[in-house]
């Protein structure tokens, strides 16, 4: 590879598109199942085809990419499968809105034409989020991209449905489900999101038949009383013992309904009397089944009152019916009380419409047997959930799981492979579309109009993306996958269901590890949302600061089990780090553009302490980064790399190496070049999984690199022989002396051009010898004209001192500092600081300010008070030191 100069500044836009195309053209991320190396695989959590990249996606893609790039470096054949989910309800809603804007509807188009319209929409817009994921540098295998509605996955979905049906794990039945009156579809329990609502609690009196008594029920939905089929009380509630077994007369309807006793009733809630409406409440449905109650639905699919209610309410929307029922109850003096009542109300996770429990014929997966196996797999350690705190949550959900309603009353999705014979009513569930009824031979067959829940096909993702039910090489090689990285909020929606399906159909877990990543919040710790307007657009951040800066920021804060508080300033800060990397590489290339001499690193380490130290620290860094990534401690990996490169390599090594690089000693110059090129190239390799673009661009300019594609370069080998405790300790001592002199110079305002003397009282002869051997380097870095170290060194008069580990540093100040001028400067600073501190303390002493100002404003003032107090104490300490020096 021929070395070329790096441009003066790093321009991400010029670099990123180039390397994305290069990796794609080179098929860098397309593994051969028959190739060498142990398999490592990840399936991307498929984003909705309607989606756009948000910060949670950016974090998860970054985490997965770090894992994939790192494991490729270890020589593994890595498959990272990309793809999107068809997102049934969300996609149908998007297309329906566009139809409405054009003055038509899906009903006017008809089912086939509507489905064609959705496919067309998907072709035009469905690749948007995948393009954005590519922009993040995701090293996925685009040749194996999948879509949950593509031909292969559709075949797999049908096969799974039929097999589950044949195994007795799918059934059809009347059951109460969550229903969205807006989307006109069933929702799984997990698709209902609860939000606080301030409503009313109505106390309604039900006459007890044959008496002048009443039982009073409390409800938030008075319109549903039209479908009541019982009143329930607790069997131990003394207030109602004499009415149990009698009948109440249902207000506004006149129907006789039994008064029953059941321990389910909460005596403390409301009046202790519960109206039982099996058709319109989940718990009432179960209570009704237990007591053999009638199920009377009084609302239709659109949330309107139907023919089972009195005629005057028919056709009314549920909210209009509520108003009418309340007015009629008032007129009959049966409304005892109305109170404000705050409670959580279930909403459709797509359109935010308040859901209605609704009894209808649906398809269900019998989850009990599947859940038991999925739980045991984690108990046995076949799959490990990280952080471990989520394991209990996983168990709790599986222990309390209900059968999964998988049918949806929409058009976009996998059509349920079930047909009914119009002649004899026979139900046919089949892999292939039947042409005749097996029972009567009739040819008039009607397919179930419903489609499957989106999560049904997603639950099959780890094995269907690899070609199942066909026995492909990908499936044999890469299943089970190595890790699933995902957010906690789909632990049940998706993770648990993948576990159930993977174990049932593959007899093996779908992944070895489940890593639950953090939530990205705003700088104040609030969840990012459109309503708060506090979201940070990752695409805008990539445009402004470059993709690597965003990725490094996310990695640096991705501590396991701890949410990320993200502010744009942090991304900007790590852009400075990317620039630092670039500028350091430019400096290095000035010296190694023509390569470095062949030399054993163990020999090069002997050329100077700085070389021995940086090589030793590099070897330790390799182990630290490797352990951090394999332990999912991405923040530790990023922070170790940051600290090594900025503080040890740039701040110290490069400054020290300048002496040898610019010197006349050819051996030392050659050693410096060899170490410089080695450390830079191997550090780029270590950083590459986190910041792929800038590292690849710099790599392409390095001389002598046999492999031009950094994504294919192995993890740097560990050279334990270069780890030197002695070199690191000697360097730490050297640095503490240099820092001590620099601090004294800064504190006492000594001109940088003034050459100082530094004396060190060493603890023993070994320390003195180490410092003396590096006296020239200490003098160069600390700008000294004289340096001395030894066990007999004593503090001269009028000198500043500092502790350097177990040594004591003395800097004589006579001639270097004008004590009178410095004392006057410090006094002026002290007066100014006292004034500023007085203003702040006065503000914080004002109760009106403290109680009325926003908390963050008060907090900033307290921080300012602490900083000024600390500064004042330091100034007074320095004045005391000057005063003592003046007296010597």
Distance CA 200, CA 204 (A): 12
Q: DSSP secondary structure string, 288-303?
A: HHHHT------B-TTS
Distance CA 371, CA 504 (A): 10
For residues 126-139, b (16+ Cβ closer than 10 Å) or e, as one string?
A: bebbbebbbbbbbb
How far lies 850's CA from each of 835, 838, 858, 865, in Å? Answer: 20, 16, 6, 14
Task: Find tokens 């499957």 and name the residue.
Answer: 452
- How many CA within 13 A on the CB side of residue 287? 25
Question: 769: buried, middle or exposed (CB in 10 Å: 19+, 13-18, 0-12)?
Answer: middle
Distance CA 794, CA 809 (A): 10
User: What are the helix (H) ranges across 136-281?
Assistant: 151-166
| Helical packing angle, 634-642 and 666-687, nearest 10° | 160
Task: Find tokens 């609030």 and name the residue.
Answer: 526
Q: What is the separation, in whole angstroms, between the first and last Cα of the chain?
A: 64
How is residue 315 written in tokens? Answer: 């056709």
Element spanning 511, H or E: strand 511-516
- Phi/psi at 863 (nearest 5 deg)? -65, -40
**CB < 8 Å & 24+ apart, contacts of 735-738:** 735/652, 736/804, 736/805, 736/807, 737/771, 737/778, 737/782, 737/804, 737/807, 737/809, 738/778, 738/781, 738/782
- Phi/psi at 434 (nearest 5 deg)? -75, 155
Question: 664: buried, middle or exposed (CB in 10 Å: 19+, 13-18, 0-12)?
Answer: exposed
The residues, ordered by sequence, that sit 6+ positions from 235 with a Cβ below 8 Å of its Cβ are: 244, 261, 262, 263
For 433, the 3-state DSSP assignment is: coil
Cβ–Cβ < 8 Å for 592, 676: yes
Distance CA 445, CA 424 (A): 10
Distance CA 810, CA 450 (A): 85
The residues, ordered by sequence, that sit 6+ positions from 647 with a Cβ below 8 Å of its Cβ are: none
Task: Determine the Cα angle at 64 with ends 60 and 66, to 5°.
Answer: 115
Neighbours of 101 (CB within 10 A): 8
Task: Find tokens 């940086």 and name the residue.
Answer: 614
Distance CA 867, CA 708 (A): 50
Annotated binding-site residue? 246 = no
Cβ–Cβ < 8 Å for 193, 349: yes
In the annotated binding site for ATP, the residues are 530
In the annotated binding site, the residues are 530
């Amino acid at each position: 590879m021929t070395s070329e100069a790096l441009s003066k500044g790093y321009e991400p836009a010029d670099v990123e598109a180039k390397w994305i195309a290069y990796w794609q053209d080179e098929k860098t991320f397309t593994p051969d199942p028959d190739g060498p190396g142990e398999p490592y695989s990840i399936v991307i959590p498929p984003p909705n085809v309607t989606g756009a990249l948000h910060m949670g996606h950016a974090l998860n893609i970054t985490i997965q990419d770090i894992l994939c790039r790192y494991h490729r470096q270890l020589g593994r054949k890595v498959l990272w499968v990309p793809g999107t989910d068809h997102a049934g309800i969300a996609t149908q809603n998007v297309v329906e809105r566009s139809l409405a804007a054009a003055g038509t509807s899906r009903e006017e188009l008809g089912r086939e034409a509507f489905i064609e319209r959705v496919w067309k929409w998907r072709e035009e817009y469905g690749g948007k989020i995948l393009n954005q994921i590519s922009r993040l540098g995701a090293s996925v295998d685009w040749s194996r991209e999948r879509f949950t509605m593509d031909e292969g996955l559709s075949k797999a979905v049908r096969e799974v449905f039929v097999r589950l049906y044949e195994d007795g794990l799918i059934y059809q039945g009347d059951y109460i489900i969550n229903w969205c009156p807006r989307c006109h579809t069933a929702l799984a329990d997990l698709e209902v999101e609860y939000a606080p609502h301030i409503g009313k609690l109505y106390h309604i009196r039900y006459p007890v038949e044959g008496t002048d008594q009443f039982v009073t029920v409390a409800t938030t939905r008075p319109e549903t009383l039209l479908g009541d089929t019982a009143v329930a009380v607790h069997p131990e509630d003394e207030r109602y013992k004499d009415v149990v077994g009698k009948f109440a007369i249902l207000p506004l309807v006149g129907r006789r309904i039994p008064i029953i006793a059941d321990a389910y009733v909460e005596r403390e809630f409301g009046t202790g009397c519960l109206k039982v409406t099996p058709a319109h409440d989940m718990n009432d449905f179960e209570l009704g089944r237990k007591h053999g109650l009638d199920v009377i639905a009084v609302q239709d699919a659109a949330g309107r009152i139907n023919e089972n209610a009195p005629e005057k309410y028919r056709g009314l929307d549920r909210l209009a019916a509520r108003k009418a029922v309340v007015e009629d109850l008032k007129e009959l003096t049966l409304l005892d009380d109305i109170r404000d009542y705050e409670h959580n109300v279930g909403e459709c996770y797509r359109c935010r419409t308040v859901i209605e429990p609704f009894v209808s014929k649906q398809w269900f997966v019998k989850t009990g047997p599947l859940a038991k196996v999925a739980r045991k797999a984690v108990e046995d350690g076949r799959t490990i959930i990280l952080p471990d705190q989520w394991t209990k949550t996983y168990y709790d959900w599986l222990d309390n799981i209900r059968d999964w309603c998988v049918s949806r009353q929409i058009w976009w999705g996998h059509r349920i492979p079930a047909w009914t014979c119009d002649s004899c009513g026979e139900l046919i569930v089949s892999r292939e579309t039947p042409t005749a009824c097996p029972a009567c031979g009739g040819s008039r067959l009607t397919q179930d109009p419903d489609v499957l829940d989106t999560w049904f096909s997603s639950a099959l993702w780890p094995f269907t993306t690899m070609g199942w039910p066909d026995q492909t090489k990908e499936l044999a090689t890469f299943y089970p996958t190595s890790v699933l990285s995902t957010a906690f909020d789909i632990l049940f929606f998706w993770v648990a269901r993948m576990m159930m399906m993977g174990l049932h159909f593959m007899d093996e877990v779908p992944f070895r590890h489940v890593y639950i990543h953090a939530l990205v919040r705003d700088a104040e710790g609030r969840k990012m949302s459109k309503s708060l307007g506090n979201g940070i657009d990752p695409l805008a951040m990539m445009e402004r600061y470059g993709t690597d800066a965003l990725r490094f920021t996310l990695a640096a804060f991705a501590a396991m089990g701890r949410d990320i508080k993200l502010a744009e300033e942090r991304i900007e800060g790590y852009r400075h780090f990317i620039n630092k990397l670039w500028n350091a590489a430019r400096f290095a290339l000035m010296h190694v553009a023509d390569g470095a001499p062949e030399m054993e690193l163990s020999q090069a380490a002997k050329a100077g302490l700085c070389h021995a130290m940086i090589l030793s620290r590099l070897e330790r860094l390799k182990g630290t980064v490797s352990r951090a990534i394999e332990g999912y401690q991405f923040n530790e990996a990023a922070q170790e790399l940051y600290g090594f490169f900025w503080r040890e390599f740039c701040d110290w090594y490069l400054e020290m190496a300048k002496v040898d690089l610019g010197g006349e000693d050819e051996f030392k110059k050659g050693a410096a070049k060899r170490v410089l090129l080695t450390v830079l190239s191997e550090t780029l390799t270590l950083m590459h999984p986190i910041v792929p673009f800038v590292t690849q661009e710099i790599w392409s300019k390095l001389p002598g690199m046999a492999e031009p594609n950094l994504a294919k370069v192995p993890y740097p080998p560990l050279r334990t022989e270069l780890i030197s405790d002695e070199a690191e300790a000697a360097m730490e001592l050297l640095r503490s002396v240099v820092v001590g002199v620099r601090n004294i110079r800064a504190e006492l305002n000594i001109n940088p051009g003034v050459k100082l003397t530094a004396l060190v009282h060493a603890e023993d002869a070994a320390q003195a010898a180490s410092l003396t051997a590096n006296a020239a380097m200490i003098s160069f870095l600390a700008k000294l004209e004289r340096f001395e170290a030894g066990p007999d060194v004593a503090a001269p008069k009028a000198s500043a001192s500092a502790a350097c580990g177990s040594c004591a540093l003395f800097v004589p100040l006579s001639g270097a500092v004008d004590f009178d001028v410095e004392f006057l400067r410090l006094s002026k600073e002290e007066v100014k600081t006292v004034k500023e501190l007085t203003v702040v303390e006065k503000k914080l002493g004002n109760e009106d300010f403290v109680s009325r100002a926003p908390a963050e404003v008060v907090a900033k003032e307290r921080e300012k008070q602490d900083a000024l107090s600390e500064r004042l104490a330091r100034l007074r300490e320095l004045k005391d030191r000057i005063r003592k020096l003046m007296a010597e």
